[in-house]
């Protein structure tokens, strides 16, 4: 696997090149040998969105696509053709059609945007075939899958990057710059959540028919969707680069929302109203790091509510609160322990990625973060450097899923977190989003 220490200079150079490319300087053509040749597995809503973003980036060629649904595949092929490239070869017909795609010798990387239980197997197949792997969240569902991803990336030397886009948000990167500038002092605590009424993920709201994620509500109870909250927290707390997760405890509420929702909407005899659910409506996990920091993580996607990430990071000299869009910095903020707006700090500590790519990114998915995330992945592929989020980051965010389920099953008992880096966290330098 590419080592963060030895590739730091190359990665920073690649980041600068992304900014030049995004600004329209010397884009490569489809026939340029330096192009990143990417195959995509899963071309539905999320895969299609990523494909449209890739078609806006210089230096990207998409020779092959795979989807079990022929209509999704045809629509994705049309996106590539309309972008001025040759029609990609399509793979479909079975759940294992992707195996032919990953074995192609004209691909540098494989992007995976499929149902969750296929993420790790497909990423493993891509790395074993010598390709970079970009995998949607979560990268893995089990502890074994996490270890398999780490060991395969280390053995093959191929990076595996989970596409955790919230790590690349404008506000989160500005907070990271503030932390690295010392404004918040020594970091002590963070809070994060994924709070979002996502009942439409699990069921068709018109018919009540279960979608593919719904099966997890029936046979799983843990922090099922954690990475969006944890993404920026990893860099804020120097996780895997000076500190690491030590153990966690998790507690789940009763599973009440689904039965109540379907009984009211479709009547008490509807199958979804009568089903037995295992997944609690809210899961609260508390993580302790080896360095003595704490992180609270909330899973909250069942109950009716507005969207919220509830980010907060607190240090010996100050605090940032995303919900209040405010900061307080001792000795700097005016008044007697009064909040002040975050916006001036976001401008002052704006990250170079947003300075160089913000204009081009603005119209892309999720407020532009998808563009920046994919542009950085593409540049790593083209330069054969480490990806901005590496396999250790990817599995550290994902492992909260199985560890939380184990803790809940044991009555909220503490569960030790693995050291996926094999001790390298003690000496690895934090290079994610480094400004110099």
249 and 396 fall within a common domain:
yes
Please report whether residue 80 resides in a domain: yes
**Whether residues 150 and 175 fall in one domain:** no
**Strand stretches in 180-293, DSSP E:** 187-195, 245-252, 283-289
Q: Let me know if residue 45 belongs to a domain.
A: yes
CATH number of the domain where residue 263 is located: 3.30.360.10
- Pairing type for strands 132-135 and 109-112 reads parallel
For residue 288, the SS3 value is strand
With respect to residue 432, please indicate whether it lies within any of the assigned structural domains. Answer: no
Is the domain of 145 the same as that of 183? Answer: no
Q: What are phi and psi of 246, to 5 degrees?
A: -100, -55
CATH code for the domain of 56: 3.40.50.720
The predicted model scores a pTM of 0.93
Q: pLDDT tens-digit profile of 265-295?
A: 999 999 999 999 999 999 999 999 999 999 9
Q: Domain boundary residue among 118, 141, 165?
A: 165
Q: Which of 165, 183, 200 is the last residue of a domain?
A: 165
Reference 352, options 165, 161, 173, 163; nearest CA is: 173
DSSP H/E element including 400:
helix 400-409
Same-domain check for residues 171 and 318: yes
Report yes or no on 66 lying in a domain: yes
Say if residue 269 is in the same domain as residue 188.
yes
- Is the same domain home to 176 and 320? yes
43 and 155 in a single domain? The answer is yes
Q: What is the pLDDT of residue 13?
A: 46
Range of 275's domain?
167-351+392-426
Structure confidence at residue 6 (pLDDT): 43
Mark whether 91 and 236 lie in a shared domain: no
The DSSP element (H or E) to which 228 belongs, if any, is helix 227-236
Low-confidence ranges of the chain (pLDDT < 50): 4-9, 11-16, 18-28, 30
Counted domains in the chain:
2
76 inside domain: yes
Judge if 21 and 149 occupy the same domain.
yes
Residue ranges in 23-106 assigned as alpha helix (H): 45-54, 70-82, 98-102
Phi-psi group of 41: left, alpha or beta (phi > 0 → left; psi -120 to 50 → alpha; rest → beta):
beta
Predicted pLDDT of residue 224? 96
Q: 295 phi and psi, to 5 degrees?
A: -135, 130
Is 64 within the bounds of a domain?
A: yes
Residue 125 sits in the same domain as residue 264: no
Please report the pLDDT score of residue 297 as a whole number.
Answer: 98
266 in a domain, yes or no?
yes
List, for residues 164-208, the tens digit of each pLDDT value.
999 999 999 999 999 999 999 999 999 999 999 999 999 998 899
Amino acid 27: pLDDT: 44
Which letter does DSSP use for residue 264 in this model? H
Which of 130, 165, 200 is a domain's end point?
165
Polymer length in residues for the chain: 436
The answer to whether residues 191 and 392 touch, using CB atoms and an 8 Å cutoff, is no
> Do 207 and 326 belong together in one domain?
yes
In a domain, 362, yes or no: no
Ramachandran bin of 412, using left for φ above 0, alpha for ψ from -120 to 50, beta for the remaining angles: left
At 320 the three-state DSSP class reads strand
How much is the pLDDT for 34? Answer: 84
């Amino acid at each position: 696997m590419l080592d963060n220490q030895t590739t730091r200079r190359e990665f920073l150079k690649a980041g600068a090149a992304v900014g030049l490319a995004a600004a329209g300087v010397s884009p490569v053509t489809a026939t340029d040998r330096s192009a990143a040749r990417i195959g995509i597995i899963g071309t539905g809503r999320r895969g299609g969105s990523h494909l449209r973003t890739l078609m806006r980036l210089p230096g990207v060629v998409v020779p092959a696509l795979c989807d079990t649904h022929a209509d999704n595949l045809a629509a994705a092929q049309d996106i590539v053709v309309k972008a001025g490239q040759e029609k990609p070869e399509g793979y479909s017909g079975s759940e294992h059609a992707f195996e032919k795609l990953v074995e192609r010798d004209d691909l540098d990387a494989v992007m995976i945007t499929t149902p969750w239980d296929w993420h790790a197997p497909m990423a493993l197949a891509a790395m074993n075939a010598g390709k970079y792997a970009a995998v949607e969240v979560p990268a893995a569902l089990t502890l074994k899958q996490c270890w398999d991803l780490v060991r395969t990336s280390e053995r093959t030397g191929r990076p595996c990057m989970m596409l955790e886009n919230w790590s690349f948000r404008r506000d989160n990167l500005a907070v990271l710059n503030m932390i690295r500038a010392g404004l918040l002092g020594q970091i002590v605590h963070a809070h994060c959540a994924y709070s979002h009424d996502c009942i439409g993920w699990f069921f068709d709201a018109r018919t009540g028919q279960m979608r593919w994620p719904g099966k997890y509500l029936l046979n799983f109870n843990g922090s099922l969707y954690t990475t969006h909250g944890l993404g920026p927290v990893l860099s804020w707390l120097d996780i895997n680069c000076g500190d690491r997760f030590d153990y966690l405890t998790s507690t789940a509420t009763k599973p009440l929302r689904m039965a109540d929702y379907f009984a009211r909407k479709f009547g008490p005899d509807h199958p979804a109203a009568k089903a037995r659910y295992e997944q609690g409506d809210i899961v609260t996990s508390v993580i302790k790091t080896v360095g003595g920091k704490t992180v609270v993580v909330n899973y909250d996607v069942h109950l009716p509510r507005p969207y919220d990430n509830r980010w907060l990071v607190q240090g010996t000299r100050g605090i940032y609160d995303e919900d209040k869009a405010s900061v307080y910095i001792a000795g700097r903020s005016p008044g007697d322990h009064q909040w002040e707006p975050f916006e001036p700090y976001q401008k002052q500590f704006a990250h170079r990625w947003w300075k160089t790519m913000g204009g081009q990114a603005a119209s892309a998915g999720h407020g532009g973060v998808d563009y920046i995330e994919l542009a950085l992945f593409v540049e790593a592929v083209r330069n054969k450097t480490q990806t901005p989020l590496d396999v250790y980051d990817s599995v550290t965010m994902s492992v909260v899923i199985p560890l939380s389920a184990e803790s809940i099953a044991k009555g909220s008992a503490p569960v030790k977190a693995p050291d996926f880096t094999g001790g390298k966290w003690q000496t690895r330098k934090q290079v994610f989003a480094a400004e110099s």
